[in-house]
Structure 1
Amino acid sequence: MLRIRLRRTILLSAPAVQRRSLWQCATLSSPSPTALLENVQETVAEDAAAAVTVFALSKNVPQQLVSAFRRALAPSGSNTTAIGCLSEILPAAASSTSPLLKDQELFSIALARHRPTRDTERAIPFRSALVGRPNIALGREIKPELQADHDQVDSGLEAFLKGGAWGFGEQTQAEVSTQHPEIAELKNENPSAIRELVVFTADRTQPFLAALSRFSEASTVGMVGTSTPFHSADGSAFTLFYGDETTASGAVGVAVVDASPEHHGTPVALGYGGLAPIGASYEVTSAQGNIVLSLSGQNAARLLLNAVNDLFGTSAANLPAAQRTHEKEKEFYAAVFDSEPKCPLDLCKARIVARIMAGDPSRGAMSVETGEEVKKGSHIVFLHRPDSVSTPNPLRDVTDNQLAFLAVPASNSAPHFSATECPGTGDVSTSQRFLAASENGVVIESGEVGTARPPPRICAIEGTRTTLQ
């Protein structure tokens, strides 16, 4: 089978539009992990070394080959630092392979190599050991033995459970003083000079995301690594890479630093995979934490139910059995705005976009899947994904040398241990863009660049995509 050889054209071709910070990108895919590895080795061997290479390697790549991919990206004797993670398998719509290969299992790697466009610009790889509380299902009972352990349950949540103010993810002063939520490699840098942040994290991200909030001029993108308990050699829940090191916790990333006043930052595009509003916007008139009790003085859960009935054209009791099942399985979401939103609705301006977990029309309570407080005085718009929305190509509006991160459903792919389990040869196709996916969510920056901003947040709504343009 003919293999497409991608040499210098993959990573060295100039972008159509000159960018302030130049990332030279490629996403390569093949039904043969061996052919994919050979292509990466040839490309890196012919390419001048970059100081930093960011990569996302699909988790179905045989465990035997993972270390070989890492050596190929940062060969012995080079000055390159490779930062990355194991990622979820890319959706078929994102593949640029031949239609004849659509039914085959594909292995992929996304690459981005930083090329400074001026002498004042540099890339700083970093790692963080900041780890927050374990994930807790919102609205669930906290075990008594965990409530007394600040390493297991954060102080803000514990105070809320005792009747205090909402403070999900907060810590006591003693905890803050001992943990120092700061990134060591960046603590001596001028925060306003950090223009871009590309990050990969494990779970328990609260302290790390809080540490990023001080970089108000930075355009931030990234994702939570895919779950790898069955795909990593040591059974790690997550697999992050920093140079020769591998970690299952904390975070790794790259900061682009440029103190030049000519650098105005790089825009970040955000999309939620076709979510559309249903009904009007409502003011939050009563809420506790992530529980909304009333909207515009009315029963919050009843307003949601009315919006759903309007969407289907009738109440659930009048629907055929098949449609009733469809209505029960359909997901609904809430967009929370700090002020009343204008039409047409711009979800990029929402402070929170999250799934609605449950609602009780008899009591009025409606819970939103977020660790942030839904504040009184904010405004909520109900959302859904229209049935008519087809699965779009996630790369459809991502141009050359842009970095895109996509939230996808879990693939549940079986792990491979040896390269002999997979085809030894195959076509290698490329797209000159960086596309990485995770079922655990993408990192979304909050607020506008240049203003005092809250920490970035994680969004795992299927179809959500954030792009460093």
Structure 2
Amino acid sequence: MIRAQTVVARTPSALLASLDRFHLQSKAKGSTLLFALSAPSDALSVITSHLKSHFPRHIGCLSSPLPAYRSHIMCAVALLDGITFRSTITGPADPQVGRWHAARRSSTQQLPVAQSNVFEEFNGVLGRVSWEDIWNRSATSAQKMMPVELRMARPEDVSSILYFSDKAPEGFAKALKATFPHAHEAGFLASSTPFITGRPVTLFHDGEIYSDGAIGIALQPSLSHTSLTVKFPGLVDLTPDLQITSSEGNLILTVDNGNPTRVLLAAMNKHRLDGCDVLLKDDEFYIGVMSDGKVERLHRITSGDPSRGTISLGTMSAPPQGSIIRVGPWTSE
């Protein structure tokens, strides 16, 4: 990131003056402007035109104001170097009711339904469906639908991906995961704007305005020695390191070839018996994915089934087989 700033102003002229200063202080030429704008409808045209004139390369969206600044105009801006793209991959379609919905035309494309030929996979009564092959075919189809800019990029040359999306990002998120499995991803849902611009959402990309899909930027690995340390104060380890031996979707099926829910319950009982007062009713339990002995990322546990053993996580994709994890609550201490 070259430069970032959030501007809060009472009038359009004050916001434009701040954006002018941001432009003058930004020495990097050819970079892409990333912005999220919250402004009244009568000021949108002049502000967006101003942004486009200063930064021909840009991606952005209309967003909701912060609760404390609803009467103000806000614009968060950042200058980045990377590969910009526009995706037309979408997720599940919303139910459509009424003439307004029926008349709408979308520029997005649905991912192929991987399960459409499931029953053709059976070979007689004893036949079995190869779900792994089916999901792999779906991932391959998703990769073919990726924006050409991302298809031309090598996975090892992309470290992070930032994008603004409509209300159905599932298809694009799935395609990103299949194409760039090791890249960090941050997706932001654009605010609903039917009463502001007449569009479900309003996305900006290099002078064009879109009502659906996603726009974003892929960042390359930093050549500097910048380091990032992430700490999770209040996270208590209940278990030693455990290895995920099978997972599917957002479910952890087995850890150390055993029942993951029973492992968690046993750890909870052990700590209660030891008199460790860390398990409170309001605690939320998390799976911590380990890397070099430290927690790299967290997934919240949403449910567990002692009989089946599965643990459900609040994420679209559980850590893959072979991942090392620890389980514990997040306390207020």
TM-score by length of 2: 0.66
Distance 1:29 1:125, change over 3 A: same
Equivalent of 1:279 in 213, 233, 238: 238
Root-mean-square deviation (CA, aligned residues, Å) is 4.8
Residue equivalent to 2:30? 51
1:335 and 2:288 aligned:
yes
Equivalent of 2:59 in 83, 98, 101: 83
1:64 and 2:32 aligned:
no
1:176 and 2:141 aligned:
yes
Distance 1:289 1:208, change over 3 A: closer
SS in 1 for 2:33: strand
Shift of 1:347: 1.4
Letter paired with 2:329? H
Equivalent of 1:199 in 151, 163, 168: 163
SS in 1 for 2:223: coil
How far apart, in 1, do the equivalents of 2:24 and 2:246 lie? Answer: 62
Distance 1:106 1:268, change over 3 A: farther
Shift of 1:164: 3.5
Shift of 1:207: 5.5
Residue equivalent to 1:223? 187
CA contact (8 A) 2:86 2:214 kept: yes
How far apart, in 2, do the equivalents of 1:336 and 1:268 lie? Answer: 19
1:264 and 2:223 aligned:
yes
CA contact (8 A) 1:40 1:72 kept: no
Distance 1:264 1:207, change over 3 A: same
How far apart, in 2, do the equivalents of 1:255 and 1:375 lie? Answer: 23
Residue equivalent to 2:103? none
User: 5+ residue gaps in structure 1?
Assistant: 1-21, 92-101, 115-121, 136-149, 389-469
CA contact (8 A) 2:254 2:309 kept: yes
Residue equivalent to 1:239? 202
**Kindly, what percent of the aligned residue pairs are identical?**
22
Shift of 1:111: 1.6
Paired residues, number: 305
Residue-by-residue CA offset, 1:151-187 (whole Å, 9 max, x unaligned) = 4774169859x854357965459x829x823423455
Alignment of 1:330-369 (within 5 A): 330-336=283-289, 343=293, 345-347=294-296, 353-369=298-314
1:127 and 2:86 aligned:
yes
SS in 2 for 1:80: coil
SS in 2 for 1:27: strand
SS in 2 for 1:56: strand
Distance 1:265 1:42, change over 3 A: closer
Letter paired with 1:346? V
How far apart, in 1, do the equivalents of 2:310 and 2:156 lie? Answer: 42
CA contact (8 A) 2:56 2:207 kept: no
CA contact (8 A) 2:89 2:111 kept: no
Equivalent of 2:214 in 246, 251, 259: 251
SS in 1 for 2:237: strand
SS in 2 for 1:228: coil
Distance 1:309 1:257, change over 3 A: closer
Residue-by-residue CA offset, 1:135-163 (whole Å, 9 max, x unaligned) = 9xxxxxxxxxxxxxx94774169859x85
Residue-by-residue CA offset, 1:282-321 (whole Å, 9 max, x unaligned) = 233555544334434554223323445667x479xxx9xx
How far apart, in 2, do the equivalents of 1:246 and 1:90 lie? Answer: 24
Letter paired with 1:356? I
SS in 1 for 2:17: helix
Q: Which has the higher helix share?
A: 2
Equivalent of 1:111 in 72, 77, 86: 77
How far apart, in 2, do the equivalents of 1:129 and 1:104 lie? Answer: 32
TM-score by length of 1: 0.50
Alignment of 1:94-105 (within 5 A): none
How far apart, in 1, do the equivalents of 2:250 and 2:231 lie? Answer: 21
Shift of 1:276: 1.9
Shift of 1:226: 4.0
Residue equivalent to 1:291? 251
How far apart, in 2, do the equivalents of 1:130 and 1:25 lie? Answer: 29
Distance 1:111 1:301, change over 3 A: same
CA contact (8 A) 1:356 1:368 kept: yes
Alignment of 1:398-413 (within 5 A): none
CA contact (8 A) 1:181 1:211 kept: no
SS in 2 for 1:278: coil
Equivalent of 2:2 in 23, 29, 37: 23
CA contact (8 A) 1:44 1:72 kept: no
Alignment of 1:375-454 (within 5 A): 375-388=320-333
Letter paired with 1:209? L
Letter paired with 1:128? S
Greater relative contact order (Cα < 8 A, sep 6+): 1
SS in 1 for 2:187: strand
